[in-house]
Each structure stands twice: as C-alpha cells, then as structure tokens.
Structure 1
Amino acid sequence: MAGNSIAFARNYTSVIDEVYQRASVSGCLNSGRRMVRAGRSAKEIMIPKISVTGLGDYTRNVGYKTGAITYEFETKTFNYDRGIRLFADVMDVEEAGVADCFVEAGAELQRTQVAPEADAFTFAQIAGHAGVTVDEADFSAADAADVLAELRAVTSAMDEAQVTAGSRYLFVTPTLKGVLDDYSLANPARSNRVLERFARIVEVPQVRFCTAIELKSGDAEFGYARAAGARDINFMVVEKSAVIKFDKHVASRVFSPDELESLDSYMMKYRKYGIVELLDNKLDGVRVSAAPGA
C-alpha cells in the first residue's frame, strides 16, 4: 500500500528500533481550566482579569474612601489545530507479524512528532508575542560568567517589576546548561546563585528552540520547520501564570478494517486542538535571549 512503511520480517523481538527523541519539555507550562470560560464562538476562550483600586485615608468622621473592583475578561483565540491519519494494510500488518503495531506507532507519533512540534510551537509563540522582550546575545564563544550575568540582569528586571518569583522557569539549551554546570564544578568559590532564582531549569534541544516556526500543511510536507528569519533562542525565562497553554480537544483512535468502507486497512487518527498565548498584563513575566539574526 502506498505510504505504508511497515517492513516485512520473518520474526522480530520485543526490542523496538526507535528514533532518539525527548518527550515534551514544555508541558510544565500547561494551564488549568478552572478560570477559563467559553467565548462567543467555539474558537475563543475568555480569561478573567481582575484589578482593584489602592488604599485611601481612613477618617474617623467619614470612614472609608470608596474604591472599585474591576473584573473583566480577555478574549483569546485557539491557535493550534493539527492532526494526522495513518494507514496500514491488513496484509502488511499480518505478514509483518506485528498486530500491535499501532500501540508502538502511537507512542512513536507522540514522542517523535507531537511532542517536538508542541514544544517548538510553544516557544515560538511566546518569543514572537507582541510586547515580549527579546534580548540579542551571541553566546557562541561566551563563557559561563557572561551567561550568568545575563540571567542576573533578567531576574533583577523581573524582581523590580514585582514578578512572582516562586514559579519562574528557566528554559535553556543543553549546550549552555552544560557550560554553566562545568563552570560551577570548576569554580566552587564563584557565585552561581542566580540559578537558585528559578523554580525549575528545563533543557530544550536547539531544534525546538527558535523564535519562529512554520507548521507544514501536510499537502507536500509534514511536521514543522524553522521559519525564514528565525533566530536560535539561548534561553527563556517564563513565569508560569503569564502563559495560557492547554488543549481543548485531543482525539486518538485506531479503526479496524471492518470499520473502513473503501480500504482493507487499519487506520489510526490523531488530532490536537489547543492554544498557546500570553496574558497581556503579565508580559513582564517573560524574557527571551536569542542569538543575533543572520
């Protein structure tokens, strides 16, 4: 069957020849649904924004000054709708002796396609959001002291902007994280305490870590690719509550040949519909360091 890649084999073992890939690294930013309301259309969600007036003088003959609570909703639109269906001819499956191939194929799809694309989309959406500060820094030949100084400047700016400290995440490439680790080991007397300013440090492979991506339509190519003009991200600091990230709908199902009218094949389909956005009043909680443009 055209497009089928199941290899015929006389026998096989329980050891699967898998592609090296990390699972999702951006899942720690997933949002809860508790405060999200449906919008005016199925494509929209409404995020609550609350503000209160400050204090005034209390006088004994008049009492309290009168202020106000403002409770509004910020409307955001779902921006991620991706899916695929995969076929395997029933004879290919039977003759290859891998009747449970869709169990392995489903895991392979998640690890090698869904997770990397979701990560790349998340970081590109955050870096490309209007109002997000993207600092230019060439760390290709920099030492750890330069990186630590940049991180200190970022955390200081967030501290001065009163960004919540307890839920800040540092996303950084494995290469820069290795530079920092080696520095700390070789220079135990030198301060690297800025790294303690993050709730968690997450390593992101560079291939998933750039300022813009292109989602392929599936007409000629599948998956995603680095967009023209995109820059490598060195690191990203994100305060979790600044991000709206969740999946409204995820569908995954395997169909047997009896359920398909025109094909004697197994079919697996997968769809993911969700959103990655930022709250407009929490942009101080996001900072990005990226390499210079070409």
Structure 2
Amino acid sequence: MPNTIALFKQCVPLLDEVYKLNALTGILDGAQELARQGSSANELILPKMTLSGLADYDRNTGYAAGDVTLTTETVRCNYDRGRMFQVDSLDDAETAAIAFGHLSSEFIRTKVVPELDAFRMAAYASTAGVGKTTGTLSTGQAVINALRAAHAAMDDGEVPGDGRVLFITSALKGAVDDLDTTASRAAMDLAASVIVVPQSRFSTAITLGNDGYSRTGADINFLLVHPTAVLQYQKHIVPKVIAPEQNPDADAWKFGYRTVGIARVLDNKLSGVYVHCKAS
C-alpha cells in the first residue's frame, strides 16, 4: 500500500501546475522558501524583521548603535478544505492514478480555483484598515478617477509604485478601454499587472459551505494590491488513498484531496491594499 500511495502522490506536482495556470490570485503567491512548515499541517513559521531608524551622527562618538531583530511567527492557516473522491475499481493502481489525475485536475480548475480566488479577494477586501471606497462607477472616466485615487492613496502610504496588481471587473476595464485615450491607457498602466476577475469571485465576503461557496458581501469594482502587502501561501495534499479491497462501501478507489493555505494582509502593510466596492 505505501507504493500505491506514493504513486498517487506523484499527481501533486500536476495539481500545483493546474492551480498556477488557472488561479487569478496566484500572482500574489509568496516565495515558498520564506515559509517553513509548522508543527501541524495547518501552521506556517514566518520570519519577521525589526530595524531601528536613523539617528544623528556624532563627530566624536560616531554612529549611534542600532538593533536588527529577527524573530519568527507561527501563523495558523485560515483556509483548510478537502473532498473525498471515489472512482470505480480499475485494472491496477497505475490506471487508477491516471484517472485520479484527470479527475482532480478538473476539480481544481472548476471548483478549487474559483473558491480560492473568491476567498482571497474577500479576505483582503474585508481587512480593517485597508484603503476602501464605495460608490457607483457608471462611466469610463469615473473608473479612471477612482483608479487614480487608489494609486494616490498608495503613494501617500509610501507603497512602492512598481509591482502593483490591479484586479478589476470586465465591465469596468471595458469602459476604460473604450475611451481609447492617452489618459485611459495611462490609468491602466499605473499597475504592473491588470487581471480581469469574474464578479462571481469578486465580493467583500463569502461563506464557505459543504458544496463550494456563496457570496455574502458587497460586489467589488476593483482591488489594487501590492504583493508585499499580503501573506499568501497554498499547498495541495493527497494524504489518503484507499484501495477497492479496503473500501467497505464500494468496489472503488477512494482518494482524499486537501488544500491548506493562508491569505491575509500583513499588519504593517495595510496601505498596500485598496478596494473599491459597489454602492449597496
């Protein structure tokens, strides 16, 4: 049985690739090497650095001493979801693993990724202290004005100008594109990346249920994020494989799929997130 489990776990890199190709928020994933596994599957250990600010230079004593403090913080993942699959008995474990690969890939593309995107958007948009504006954007010029205000707020918060990611609805991006002016193009170019998001994944709050998720918050018009402002990490696990002869319920293979991750705005980087919501 250990060899069989290893065979199915070979599918995990494929699942990661499907996720990377389809997740709209994947662009915000942090560097994997910065996080270490905690004592349990739903914990991460993250580095935190604190630096002293500048001080006056003294001609007699020279530089003022400063401190660099490097600590670690253990955080609990705020997203932990799973599903048990069942596939009718096949000739051998290798054939079953191939079937599982196709099944789980489609599951990630159509079920996991939309929910993950929606969860992350809602998590960032609902964080207390981030930039937030509510209003109706009925024209392309109104969208441009709102985008400029968002970038100005980040500029005032000393958020780096490069690397900002703009998530926006198709309708609003189209309204700006239709203007086809130097000003409209410049407004979109303020962001390093522009990603169109379906409204179904774009809400300030969602409820995770036993068959996916439902939107329970306000519709988001656009979300501007600097990647350094958020903590985003995800992993896919195939922890359990049950062969047909060990399945008391059916003559079928059973595969446990689990995805664990975290999506949150860093406490000292709140100015790196700005959300514009529809008027309720």
TM range (shorter): 0.7 to 0.9
Of Structure 1 and Structure 2, the greater helix share is in 2
1:1-294 to structure 2, matched below 5 A, reads 23-37=22-36, 43-90=42-89, 101-139=99-137, 142-184=138-180, 188-216=181-209, 218=210, 222-227=211-216, 230-251=217-238, 255-293=242-280
Query: How far apart are residue 178 of structure 1 and its match?
Result: 1.3
Deviations 1:35-87 (A, max 9, x none): 22455766443433323223333233221222322334444321111111122
TM-score norm. by structure 2 comes to: 0.81
**After alignment, is 104-113 or 253-262 more displaced?**
253-262
Say if 1:36 and 1:48, in contact at 8 Å, map to a contact too. Answer: yes
Deviations 1:189-234 (A, max 9, x none): 5453122121110111000000000000x2xxx111112xx10000
Runs of 5+ in structure 1 lacking a partner?
Answer: 1-21
Say if 2:125 and 2:275, in contact at 8 Å, map to a contact too. Answer: yes
CA distance in 2, matches of 1:36, 1:191: 39
Pair 1:189–1:84, CA change in 2 (3 A)? closer
The total of aligned residue pairs comes to: 256
Say if 1:102 and 1:254, in contact at 8 Å, map to a contact too. Answer: no
Pair 1:101–1:249, CA change in 2 (3 A)? closer
Equivalent residue of 1:192, what SS? helix
In the other structure, the counterpart of 1:4 is: none
Say if 2:236 and 2:257, in contact at 8 Å, map to a contact too. Answer: no
Runs of 5+ in structure 2 lacking a partner?
Answer: 1-20
Query: How far apart are residue 175 of structure 1 and its match?
Result: 1.3
Say if 2:173 and 2:196, in contact at 8 Å, map to a contact too. Answer: yes
Pair 1:130–1:44, CA change in 2 (3 A)? farther
TM-score norm. by structure 1 comes to: 0.78
| Amino acid of the structure 2 residue aligned with 1:288 | V
Say if 1:76 and 1:277, in contact at 8 Å, map to a contact too. Answer: no
In the other structure, the counterpart of 2:10 is: none
Deviations 1:3-36 (A, max 9, x none): xxxxxxxxxxxxxxxxxxx932111111123222
| Amino acid of the structure 2 residue aligned with 1:192 | R
**After alignment, is 247-256 or 173-182 more displaced?**
247-256
Say if 2:238 and 2:255, in contact at 8 Å, map to a contact too. Answer: no
Say if 2:177 and 2:185, in contact at 8 Å, map to a contact too. Answer: no
CA distance in 1, matches of 2:97, 2:258: 23
- Identical-residue share of aligned pairs (%): 38
Say if 1:124 and 1:212, in contact at 8 Å, map to a contact too. Answer: yes
| Amino acid of the structure 2 residue aligned with 1:180 | V
CA distance in 2, matches of 1:89, 1:290: 46
| Amino acid of the structure 1 residue aligned with 2:269 | K
Say if 1:87 and 1:268, in contact at 8 Å, map to a contact too. Answer: yes
Say if 1:148 and 1:192, in contact at 8 Å, map to a contact too. Answer: no
Pair 1:250–1:38, CA change in 2 (3 A)? closer
